[in-house]
A and B are shown apart, each in its own frame.
Chain A
Amino acid sequence: MNPDLSALKPFLLFDGIWMKTEAKIPSPVRLNFSKDELIIKEGDYGIAVYEIISGKVGVYIDSGGTEVMVATLNPGMIIGEMTFLAGNTNPRSATVRAIEDCSLESWHPRMLASDYKQIPRALRHIVDRSLKRLVRMNKKISGISLQQRKVEENQARKSGGPSTERRSSYRKECNIGCAYRPKNSPKEVQLLGRVRDISKNGLQMVVKTSNSLKYSHVPGDEFLIITNLTPGQEVKMTAKIVNLRKGPTPASTIMGMSFLHMTHEDQKRLGFFLLR
């Protein structure tokens, strides 16, 4: 429910600080955030717009109680523009957290408001419609992701334990180290992770969030993975990130991945591993 902000006029909330609206338009402020520090929280009321000067940030949306990483933003990119363009009346639509030490420039909305008011009406109409489309689209994505997760959970429940006839497709919990790299990266690239469960269709892997500093880790990204499911038996696979969520520690991320390719031999090795 949106709180009634009318009593707070002539004050404006500037991400946690109420400011008198009669005050002079503040200059941009440089803010530094440490790795893992929260910058914006989904659902909060805040009106500042930020430009990333250095470092990277992660954008997360809540999907049925699970935080899903939807984007990694780089220097030069903007945070908080949707709230400003929506007229600063909506709560923050996503959580933003530093994934490495970063520096942001914070813009008070009044710095932008006078410029924005001068935009020709036609351009403003285009922006308003695009904003509505983006909000609709994000809701749809969040809905589909949630639905998909429910289907997967149901399938995992139905496949049950080792005694059921669908045993070969069940999700086996494990804790196995693996090496992986983006599909089109040089062979020398080696990132490390731990496979925490695996089925014939995909796996879940825990990785350091900092792995995404050099290489993109967003849904849709494809990786080559090498792991030893049993000692001395290397299994290679190509898999795509389906979803991302917070890992067991603040510096880790869990990647839900779907297999794209595996040789027949490796499929057999995986099959034996799942049956054991």
Chain B
Amino acid sequence: MTIDSAIMDYVVSEENFPDKAFVFKEGGSGDWIYVILEGRVKIKKQTSKGLLTIEALGEGDFIGEIALFKEGKVSRFTSAIADGPVLVGTLDTEQLTRDWEKQSPRIKKLISSLMLNLEDAIQKMVSVVETSK
């Protein structure tokens, strides 16, 4: 799969991760946003039943993007772990933040609402799995 050139223009560095390596850890700090260039990444969250896989993301998907749309510093909400060898591109967060700041208040509300719903859905998934027998 080819990654759109609009995204590649924002890639400031590329990094390889071996199988099972953490791209970032839940609770950790950092606001880098990554695009998966090659391979797969599993998004996991700590639950009372252990580390739960929420979803598997592939080429062209973004990881850590929720932080961009939230005010202030936020800790990582999930862990991102390489599922096999992975190549990710680190995006220019400062440029993306500047782009985001320029958007109209209504567009910002709309997109922030989507990201909040995504975070809620992850939390709900954890809750559903925790209560399942």
A119 with B114: CB separation less than 8 A: no
Binds B, one of A14-22, A96-104, A121-129, A205-213: A121-129
- List B contacts of A133 (CB < 8 A): 55, 57, 61, 118
Size of B's binding interface in residues, CB under 8 A: 46
Give residues of chain B (106-131) contacting chain A, Cβ–Cβ below 8 Å: 106-107, 109-111, 113-118, 120-131
B114 with A148: CB separation less than 8 A: no
- List A contacts of B10 (CB < 8 A): 122
Q: Judge if B51 is at the interface, Cβ distance under 8 Å.
A: no
A137 with B65: CB separation less than 8 A: no
Q: CB-nearest residue of chain A relative to B106? A: A112
Determine chain B's interface SS by DSSP, over half rule. Answer: helix
Determine chain A's interface SS by DSSP, over half rule. Answer: helix
B62 with A129: CB separation less than 8 A: yes
- List B contacts of A148 (CB < 8 A): 128, 131-133
A81 with B110: CB separation less than 8 A: yes
A122 with B6: CB separation less than 8 A: yes
**Given known A126-B65, A258-B131, contact A137–B107 (CB-CB < 8 A):** no
A129 with B128: CB separation less than 8 A: no
Report the interface size class on chain A.
Answer: 35 or more
- List A contacts of B111 (CB < 8 A): 81, 85, 127
A112 with B107: CB separation less than 8 A: yes
A84 with B110: CB separation less than 8 A: yes
Q: Judge if A252 is at the interface, Cβ distance under 8 Å.
A: no
B125 with A141: CB separation less than 8 A: yes
- Tell me the complex Cα distance, A119–B104, Å: 10
How near does chain B come to A62, taking the closest CB pair, in angstroms? 16
- List A contacts of B33 (CB < 8 A): 126
